[in-house]
Structure 1
């Protein structure tokens, strides 16, 4: 079993492979010095007004405008 890499080591491995930025909807899984980047299928982030409107619609029986 391999040891857990430090954040600096992970960053160095990614940089050596030309990866300098991980998006908010991505995460990296390391297995030793090998890694896989997964992209999450998340609901798009809603702003405060959209969240409030959605909650209000749910309280009113699911009707949204």
Structure 2
């Protein structure tokens, strides 16, 4: 059975790589759109970091610590 901790650990790398994948998809469509897609790469890493902080500050870890 899939538990919450397993799902959280699976989501973190997916979020981290999502920005790079979206940037690659947009960049593959043309040269000018590649310049517009440059800021998308760090978005995935920021989303993964925000997810980790949310889990630590508002998830079951925070409830157990309180």
TM-score w.r.t. the length of structure 1 is: 0.24
More strand by share: 1
Give the TM-score taking structure 2 as reference length.
0.24
Q: Structure with the greater relative contact order (CA < 8 A, sep ≥ 6): 1 or 2?
A: 2
Computing the radius of gyration from Cα coordinates, the structure with the larger value is 1
